[in-house]
């Protein structure tokens, strides 16, 4: 088995277009200090009218989110993109894997634009196709590949989604992971799940929602021979978790939860399922970004919350709900650096280029990858209901 090397490229440098990591952003950007940027963005949006549809993930900066036609979590944005066949351009203020999914779910004549190509996702980069194929070979050698259903988190590259589509699996997001796992375990007698690439979402859903135990889960480490597991361990497991994680949500710790509970009376801890299992175990509520927003909207005035998710969203919630006490579940600043790559200069540049008739930073998935990734995404969109009340 080959272990694939993952050299870290500095963001914004390099030319690995197949990766979620940074590539050069071409063109002349307006200066960030230009006081006319907001007016320029408004003018470009007005000039494009219904030809453009702007999507904004909840982790985007305020300066960009103000121009979004819709905001949402990964699941909602995927559906929103698919529901706009009349828009010629979809400008995706989010990260690369989201723009890829939008390209897969929109028509061939629609163009999806990511204002900064360096807006990748380190978690998505942690599962590369060659590595996943190696893991699948090991499952085949262990005699269990026929009973394994691969499920990938939305936060993965299009070729990993296509791998899941080709092998009878599906995509899930943080708002439907439970339903997706129920679906996967129903696909075959004695089914096992290979969960990519976020071990935490996989473990939290399996143990806290599906009633599996920690002993039912093993972690496949793509940087160790045979994933660091024996064939017997693979055969005994119900959940084979990929060793990937979100570097933003990985920062939240059980110790800070304890500290906040000791210092803020009646505080409720609300976290995203990308957090470590030990943090989620100590939380009061867990759910996707959309779930977090709805929970705070429905909370009574005067209630106290500590939220474990990306800081742009937590700050926006605190500003929108001055009648509630909203704290951040980490002592230090914790933005998603790649989400933050989409700033006003990049947005203005992308929009003004469209007005001038030039399509920049188009995200296009190749037809064969698209075909199978679409199968996996459609299986997700066809799942009944959603696991959270959102
Ligand atoms: P959701 O928006 O699906 O909750 O995902 C959070 C996230 O980390 C996106 O990258
Ligand atoms: Fe990726 Fe985490 Fe950033 Fe989401 S918050 S885009 S999972 S690094």
Q: CA torsion 192→197→201→202, rounded to 10°?
A: 10
Q: Is 312 in the pocket of ligand 1 (CB under 6 A)?
A: no
Q: Where are the domains positioned within the chain?
A: 36-119+338-364, 124-246, 249-328
d(CA 162, CA 196): 12
Instruction: Tell me whether domains 124-246 and 249-328 share a fold.
Output: yes
Decide: residue 340, CB within 10 A, 0-12 exposed, 13-18 middle, 19+ buried.
middle
- Which atom of ligand 1 is nearest to 291's Cα? 4
107, 376 Cβ separation under 8 angstroms? no
d(CA 123, CA 66): 27
Q: List per-block mean pLDDT (blocks of 10 residues) for the chain, which spans 390 residues.
A: 38 45 61 94 98 96 97 88 93 96 94 94 96 98 97 97 98 95 95 98 97 98 97 97 96 96 96 98 96 97 97 95 96 87 95 96 96 96 63
d(CA 368, CA 186): 27
- Which atom of ligand 2 is nearest to 123's Cα? 1
Q: For residue 85, give Cα distances in angstroms to 4, 79, 126, 149, 366.
A: 39, 11, 32, 32, 20
Q: Is 370 in the pocket of ligand 1 (CB under 6 A)?
A: no
Take residue 37 and report the two structure tokens written for it: 């940027």
Q: Is 95 in the pocket of ligand 2 (CB under 6 A)?
A: yes
Residue identifier of the C-alpha nearest atom 1 of ligand 2: 121
The ligand minimizing its distance to the Cα of 123 is 2
Which residue has tokens 């907001």? 38
Query: For residue 362, what is the DSSP state?
Result: B
Name the CATH superfamily, with its identifier, for domain 249-328.
NadA-like (3.40.50.10800)
Top-level class of domain 36-119+338-364: alpha beta
d(CA 177, CA 170): 10
Report the pLDDT value the prediction gives residue 75, as an integer from 0 to 100: 80
Q: For residue 110, give Cα distances in angstroms to 74, 92, 271, 348.
A: 19, 12, 35, 20
158, 370 Cβ separation under 8 angstroms? yes
Q: Is 125 in the pocket of ligand 1 (CB under 6 A)?
A: no
Tell me if the domain spanning 124-246 has CATH number 3.40.50.300: no
Report the pLDDT value the prediction gives residue 25, as an integer from 0 to 100: 54
Q: What is the pTM of this model?
A: 0.91
Report the pLDDT value the prediction gives residue 5, as an integer from 0 to 100: 39
388, 288 Cβ separation under 8 angstroms? yes
- Which atom of ligand 1 is nearest to 274's Cα? 8
Q: Is 288 in the pocket of ligand 1 (CB under 6 A)?
A: yes
């Amino acid at each position: 088995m080959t272990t694939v090397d993952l050299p870290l490229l500095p963001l914004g440098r390099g030319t690995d277009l197949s990766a979620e990591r940074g590539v050069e952003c071409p063109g002349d950007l307006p200066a960030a200090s230009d006081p006319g940027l907001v007016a320029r963005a408004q003018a470009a949006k007005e000039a494009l009218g219904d030809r453009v549809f702007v999507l904004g993930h909840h982790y985007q900066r305020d300066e960009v989110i103000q121009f979004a036609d819709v905001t949402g979590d990964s699941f909602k944005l995927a559906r929103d993109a698919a529901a706009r066949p009349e828009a010629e351009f979809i400008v995706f203020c989010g990260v690369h894997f989201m723009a890829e999914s939008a390209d897969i779910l929109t028509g061939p004549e629609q163009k999806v634009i990511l204002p900064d190509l360096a807006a990748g996702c380190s978690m998505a980069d942690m599962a590369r196709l060659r590595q996943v194929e190696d893991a699948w070979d090991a499952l085949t050698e262990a005699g269990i590949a026929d009973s394994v259903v691969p499920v990938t988190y939305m936060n993965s590259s299009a070729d990993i989604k296509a791998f899941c589509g080709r092998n009878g699996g599906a995509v899930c997001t943080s708002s439907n992971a439970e339903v997706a796992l129920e679906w996967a375990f129903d696909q075959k007698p004695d089914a096992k799940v290979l969960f990519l690439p976020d071990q935490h979402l996989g473990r939290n859903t399996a143990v806290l929602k599906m009633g599996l135990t920690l002993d039912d889960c093993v972690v496949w480490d793509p940087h160790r021979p045979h994933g660091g597991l024996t064939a017997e361990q693979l055969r005994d497991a119900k959940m084979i978790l990929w060793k990937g994680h979100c570097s933003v949500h990985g920062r939240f710790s059980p110790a800070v939860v304890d500290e906040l509970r000791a210092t803020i009376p009646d505080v409720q801890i609300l976290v995203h399922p990308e957090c470590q299992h030990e943090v989620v175990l100590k939380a009061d509520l867990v759910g996707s970004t959309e779930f977090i927003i709805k929970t705070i909207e429905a909370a009574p005035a005067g209630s106290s919350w500590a939220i474990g998710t990306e800081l742009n969203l937590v700050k926006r919630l605190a500003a929108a709900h001055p009648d509630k006490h909203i704290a951040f579940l980490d002592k230090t600043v914790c933005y998603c650096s790649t989400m933050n790559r989409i700033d006003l200069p990049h947005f203005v540049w992308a929009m003004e280029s469209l007005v001038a008739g030039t399509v920049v930073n188009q995200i296009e998935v190749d037809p064969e990858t698209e075909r199978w990734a679409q199968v996996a995404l459609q299986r997700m969109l066809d799942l009944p209901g959603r696991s959270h009340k959102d």
